[in-house]
Amino acid sequence: MNANFLAGLEKLREKFLAELSQRNASLKDAFSRLTAEDADENAIEDISWIAHKVSGSAATLGFKELGEQAARTERLILGTAGSHSADDAALRAEVTALIRLMDDPR
Amino acid sequence: MKILAVDDDEVIRRLMSEILTNIGFRDVTFAASGKEALNILQAAKGPFDCFLLDIEMPGMTGITLVSHIRKMPDYARTPILMVTSMAERAYVDSAFAAGATDYVNKPIDVSEMHARLQLVSELVSERKKAKSERTDGTDGATALADTSERLHIENIDGVIDYLSLENYLLQLSRLSLFGNCAFGVAIKDSKHLFEGLSHYEFHSAVTDVAEALSECLKPHRFFLAHIGGGDFAGITDAGRQFDADEFELAVGQKLREMDLYYSNGRPMVVHISASDPIQLDWRSSRSSVNALLEAVGNAEQKTLSPADALIEIRPPVKPGH
């Protein structure tokens, strides 16, 4: 791989990280809406969409663990479409793990 | 090679741009949605040679976009690679059924992307060369058929190009091949049956047989491809329920109902042999692709009954004589 390519990837990593904090804020908001007493039905779709976006680019840009966690979260939601509630412990655990990695991507 | 890449994520579009430039593909146009891609295609001065499509996009999914692209005559055979993080079988099946040629998983592996696009580039060059040779020669429809050609058959459920079939099998092997089997079909005495046919007649005859095969496979999930002559290779999730003898009878019945004729009005009597299924359950990806060809070989062997062997040594008879 040539130097221009690596420099280009580095710029993309910076852009990805800048957008990641915005996406994480949206994810935290959606998770709050999902776990609220009067749960928002759209919140699960928002979480799935954010996880999808992160999983698409994170691992390619070198954030392997974050990419895998996002993909796992998305798969869990898609695999059990329509059957999740705020009490679903598995979903809570995956989204919490995703938020933690988005706070501190490695 | 002129590429149109479609992804709603700006980071991915820029990432693709970096990757494609790095591996030598610089003529790339990007679109952020299916709608924008269709507008670009409508306005394009020259045709694109290859498409790279995301699946999960707001508005129009990449799979719907494949269907729209395939309806355009210029793009009926243009390679379409899905570049997606949607790895589940339902997405893979839908993409290939809509007309995708290949399926690349995100995260994007630069070496893998390079290898896949290199193959596509070679295919595009070969097709351009073949097209220019045809243009220089006689009318393609009335010229004698090259019956060894792998035909592109459109608008029949489950019938895809052989390259797509191989790519589908490779993708499926990353998920699970359990319950799937490979099978082959050979038209009996196809050498004489197709002798002297024009390209158009050969294409029509093979398409009719493909339609009969598709109809008889319908209870199961399947993909099927013509691989030249009177041969077809297929994959079905019928697994151990696939009964070659029953399938042959059902296809034979369907072909009789279809009442096929040569263009000179002579009845065309087509009989097929189907191989026994080869279970793919625990096979590797490469071994699964080999199983496809093995199944076709088995079907061809089955056509060589003693009566067929006698036909083999008779001088060829031209249609209409």
Instruction: DSSP for B77-110, please give it.
Output: S--EEEEES--SHHHHHHHHHHT--EEEESSPPH
A contact set with B (CB within 8 A): 1-2, 4-5, 8-9, 12, 15-16, 19, 52-53, 55-61, 67, 71, 74-75, 78
Range with lowest mean pLDDT among A8-12, B81-85, B90-94: A8-12
CB proximity B26 to A under 8 Å: no
Domain boundaries, chain A: 3-103
Please determine, for the modelled complex, whether the ipTM score is greater than 0.85: no
B66: pLDDT strictly greater than 90: yes
Count other Cβ atoms within 10 Å, centred on residue A23. 17
Could you tell me how many CB contacts below 8 A there are between chain A and chain B? 52
Residue B311's pLDDT band, with cuts at 50, 70 and 90, is very low
Kindly give, in sequence order, each residue whose CB lies less than 8 Å from that of residue B67, ignoring residues fewer than 6 positions away: B98, B99
Residue B293's pLDDT band, with cuts at 50, 70 and 90, is very high
pLDDT score at B321: 44
pLDDT score at B312: 45
Nearest to B182 by CA among B103, B281, B96, B302: B281
Residue B102's pLDDT band, with cuts at 50, 70 and 90, is very high
pLDDT score at B131: 77
Domains delineated in chain B: 3-136 (3.40.50.2300), 162-313 (3.30.70.270)
For residue B91, the chain A residue with the least C-alpha distance is A78
- Average pLDDT estimate for B87-100: 93
- Contact, B146 vs B260, CB < 8 A? no
The minimum CA-CA distance between B113 and chain A, rounded to whole Å, is 12
CB atoms A1 and B15 under 8 Å:
no
pLDDT score at A1: 61
The minimum CA-CA distance between B66 and chain A, rounded to whole Å, is 20
pLDDT score at A84: 55
Architecture of the domain delimited by A3-103: Up-down Bundle (1.20)
| Chain A residues with beta carbon closer than 8 angstroms to that of B21 | 5, 8
pLDDT score at B103: 95
Range with lowest mean pLDDT among A41-45, B69-73, B97-101, B234-238: A41-45
Between B8 and B130, name the one with better pLDDT.
Answer: B8
End-to-end CA distance of chain B: 47
Range with lowest mean pLDDT among B34-38, B42-46, B108-112: B108-112
B240: pLDDT strictly greater than 70: yes
CB atoms B88 and A15 under 8 Å:
no
pLDDT score at B313: 42
Helices within chain A (DSSP H only): 3-35, 43-57, 64-79, 89-103
* pLDDT, mean over chain B: 90
- Contact, B243 vs B251, CB < 8 A? no
Per-residue exposure over B275-298, b if at least 16 CB sit within 10 Å of its own CB, e if not: bbbbbbeebebeebbebbebbbeb
Q: Angle CA(A61)–CA(B62)–CA(A9) in degrees, nearest 5? A: 15
Query: Both tokens of residue B283?
Result: 């096979």
pLDDT tens, per residue, chain A with 106 residues: 678 788 888 888 998 999 999 999 999 999 999 888 887 878 999 999 999 989 988 988 989 999 999 999 998 988 766 555 545 888 999 999 999 999 998 6
pLDDT score at B210: 97
Distance, in Å, from the CA atom of B321 to the CA atom of B316, rounded to the nearest integer, reads 11
Comparing CB atoms, the residue among B9, B18, B85 nearest residue A9 is B18
Comparing CB atoms, the residue among B11, B54, B108 nearest residue A19 is B11
The minimum CA-CA distance between B76 and chain A, rounded to whole Å, is 28
DSSP three-state, residue B52: strand
Residue B85's pLDDT band, with cuts at 50, 70 and 90, is confident
pLDDT score at B309: 46
Comparing CB atoms, the residue among B15, B56, B88 nearest residue A12 is B15
CB proximity B85 to A under 8 Å: yes
Range with lowest mean pLDDT among B76-85, B106-115, B291-300: B106-115
Residue B315's pLDDT band, with cuts at 50, 70 and 90, is very low
DSSP three-state, residue A88: coil
- Contact, B185 vs B285, CB < 8 A? no
| Chain A residues with beta carbon closer than 8 angstroms to that of B22 | 1-2, 4-5, 8
pLDDT score at A87: 54
Between A100 and B315, name the one with better pLDDT.
Answer: A100
Q: How many Cα atoms within 13 Å fall on the side-chain side of residue B204?
A: 13
| Chain B residues with beta carbon closer than 8 angstroms to that of A5 | 18-19, 21-22
